[in-house]
Structure 1
Amino acid sequence: MKGILCRLFIVVCCAIGFWGMNFGSCQAAPSHKVESFHYKSYKDGDRDWLKIEIGLSRDNLEYEVSDNPDKPNQLLVLMKNTKPGEIKKNIGLDRKIARYMTVREKNKNDLQIMIATDGDLATHEYKVYTVEKDKKTRKPYRLVIEIAGDEGKPVDTKPVPDIPEDELMDSVAGHTIVLDPGHGGTDNGASGPSLLREKDVTLSISLEAARILRENGARVLMTRFTDVDVFGPVATDKQELQARVDVARRDPSVEMFVSVHCNAFTNSEANGTGTYFYPHSSRDAMLAQYIQNEMVHSTGLRDRGITSARFYVLRNSRVPATLVETAFITNPYEESMLANVRCQYTMAKAICRGINNYFRDTLR
């Protein structure tokens, strides 16, 4: 009898201990709490920006960024496991870039920030990221939201009459295209023997391509207009790449995503131009081939062909997408080409011709 009672006592104790462990594991982690709020307007070159900083009680915030499908001027940021603290529920902003911000608790544990911009969110560049606590300036761990006043360049809807004949594209008018200049900000990309930086070349080529496409009536969105990180300076690789993909996802009218890069290899003799795609459908390969054909024809570089690849921006694109490796920045001759403004223009024009040919032949 004593043995039975003893075994029963052990079983009960184990059950209580197991229940206690599970109970403890189900307890919510300590909540984040909003402790401060600040915003300011500033200029970056000729562009106006609004910067919002939300100070928090602890680090490692999890958050999600999205737009409101029913109201295209609203940016939504969901802060996981966060309490509002003393922050106001309705806050007026600069009224030029964004009119106001609202704060509301959602699902009892989360906090949703809504920012109403002055126009369609698709026409604004924005970044959302976190910044570590700074003891020197006494600034807490912060969630930072930066919003630009506009796209940086006007959007043309019709071809202008004085376009040079060799820049005329007859099939891009009315189409929406995303151009993604590779790398930028804290990420230089690859460098050449003369220290030419990939991020500078890709931006120059992309800006020139955007100009040509816009002058022919296309609507062009860019993942970046200047030397910046698209997500923010403290992003993980995945966050940075997803931020580029999100530029296309935010606008349902986007029909194409083109990422511009320079190739690199340890052997400086590696050379040529190549284009990559992920086979969501036959159109991804078609787009890559059209651009590859024009790049080879225009530059005279070795034809490395088109290749299926699992690059993040290609795999996660919802529209036909391609990544162009214009030339090898690690090859001395091709680096000199990439540094030459005229060659950059030639490559930009080739990319545009490939895009134009894709629309011409697939939408007949």
Structure 2
Amino acid sequence: MDKIICRLVVFLGCVLGLWGMLAMDCQAAPSHELETFHYKTHTIDGRKWLRIEIGMSRDKLDFEVAENPEKPYQLLILMKNTKRGDVKENIGLDRKIARYMTLKKTNKNDLQVMVAVDTSLEQHEYKVYTLEADKKSRKPYRLIIDIAADPPKPKEKPKQTDIPADEIIKEVRGRTIAIDAGHGGSDSGAIGPSFLKEKDVTLKIALEAARILRGNGARVVMTRYEDVDVYGPLATDKDELQARVDVARRDPSVEIFVSIHCNAFTNPEANGTGTYFHYHSGRDSMLAQHIQNEMVRATGLRDRGIHSARFYVLRHSRIPATLVETAFITNPNEERMLASASCQHAMALAICRGIGSYFRNISS
């Protein structure tokens, strides 16, 4: 009898142990956990912004963004498979752009972030996105919530009447293209012997390229329209470059990414135009080659060819991407070209023609 009782006890212990293990599996900790929280206000191009940064325990966060239809001042972000960790449940914010933020579980595994703005979300531009970890600056993978003190700027309408007939590029009609004017704001880029700044040249060429593309029926997404940092003040190099990539990532209709730069070297005799790509598919090098061909044809500069490179904006773009080194700003002759409005127009037009040639090639 004692043996039977012992066997029953052992059996029940095994069953209960197995049940406990299954219960633990069912209640396993979410794969994401909030580790840090920080917010700051800053000014970009005269506009005040509130930035909320939530540090995560790991990357690849799945989240959804919505506005509360019953309370139009509430921005809701549902973070899938996430727990709050040591971050407070209720957090006061700047009280001018946003009043407070609350964190609460919606079910066993999901966490809802609610940000209450001062008036209504209709009166604020906002962006919600993630940033990769930056080991150099000791920043983890982050969820970013940017909220402006004012509504979005009205979208610029494409001008269809200001493009001369010799600039018609029918292949770009209906396409969506991201144009990145290299450097900007606190980052001047390279500076020529006559003190011409790369950030000023790239912006002028980028704006001219956008004008030509829009005039031909394309939709253009710009990383910057003015002399500003894309990420904002006090950004690390990685934050700034990732912000440029994110401009294109946030718009699923963007088909290609073109970054515009000026080359530089310690030897002032270095010269020519070159284009770079990072191999994701054959389309990256194809885009680079078509733009390079048109740049050489339009400028008559030395053909430095196309090259594979590990530039951040190329490596992290999920669409065909290229970086154009228009000319050497450190070369006195090429610096004069880059300062010329007619040359800036010729380079912008060459980039647009290269884009058109690329789309014609992939459509054939």
> TM-score, length-normalised on structure 1?
0.69
| Ranges in structure 2 where 5+ consecutive residues have no aligned partner | 1-33, 69-74, 132-143
Counterpart of 1:154 in structure 2 is 156
Note if contact 2:176-2:254 (Cα within 8 Å) is conserved in structure 1. yes
Counterpart contact for 2:274–2:324, Cα < 8 Å: yes
Comparing 161-170 and 330-339, the one that deviates more: 161-170
CA contact (8 A) 1:84 1:111 kept: no
Counterpart amino acid of 1:112? V
What SS does the corresponding residue of 1:187 show, helix, strand or coil?
Answer: coil
Which position in structure 2 is the counterpart of 1:362?
A: 362
1:270: which partner in 2? 270
- The 1:109/1:281 distance shift into structure 2, 3 A limit, reads closer
Match of 2:49 in 1: 51
User: Which residue pairs with 2:327 in the alignment?
Assistant: 327
Q: How does 1:1-364 map to 2 (within 5 A)?
A: 44=45, 49-52=47-50, 62=55, 81-85=86-90, 87=92, 103-105=102-104, 112=113, 118=122, 145-147=146-148, 149-150=151-152, 153-156=155-158, 160-161=160-161, 163-364=163-364
Q: Contact between 1:151 and 1:221, CA under 8 Å: does it hold in 2?
A: no
Q: Note the residue ranges of structure 1 that are not aligned, 5 or more in a row.
A: 1-29, 130-142
What TM-score comes out, normalization by structure 2 length? 0.69
Query: Residue 152 of structure 1 contacts residue 225 of structure 1 at CA under 8 Å; is this kept in 2?
Result: no
Structure 2 CA distance for partners of 1:302 and 1:266, relative to 1, 3 Å: same
Give deviations 1:175-216, integer Å, cap 9, x for gaps: 111111111111111110011111111111101111111111
In the alignment, the residues of structure 1 paired with residue 312 and residue 222 of structure 2 have an alpha-carbon distance, to the nearest angstrom, of 17
Structure 2 distance, partners of 1:334, 1:67, is 47
SS at match of 1:253: coil
State the match for 1:13 in structure 2: none
How far has the Cα of 1:69 moved from its partner? 5.5
- Count how many residue pairs are aligned between Structure 1 and Structure 2: 301
Contact 2:274 2:304 in 1 (8 A): yes
1:44 Cα deviation (Å)? 3.9
State the distance in 2 between where 1:72 and 1:172 align.
35
Partner Cα separation in structure 2 for residue 311 and residue 151 of structure 1: 31
Q: 1:234 to 1:86 in 2, by over 3 A?
A: closer
Q: Secondary structure of the equivalent of 1:171?
A: helix
CA-to-partner distance for each residue in 1:45-91, whole Å, 9 max, x for gaps?
A: 7xxx452266x9xxxx7369999657599795989853144538xx9
Q: Distance between the aligned counterparts of 2:300 and 2:101, measured in 1?
A: 55
Residue 155 of structure 1 deviates from its aligned partner by 4.0
Secondary structure of the residue that 2:251 maps to in structure 1?
A: coil
State, as a whole percentage, how many aligned pairs show the same letter: 54
Change (3 A) 1:118 1:319: farther
Conserved in 2, the CA contact under 8 Å of 1:274 and 1:292?
A: yes
Query: Contact 2:35 / 2:55 at 8 angstroms: preserved in 1?
Result: no
1:259 to 1:33, Cα distance in 2 relative to 1, 3 A: closer
3-state SS of 1:258 partner: strand
Aligned-pair distance for 1:113? 5.3
Distance 1:335 1:144 in 2: 40
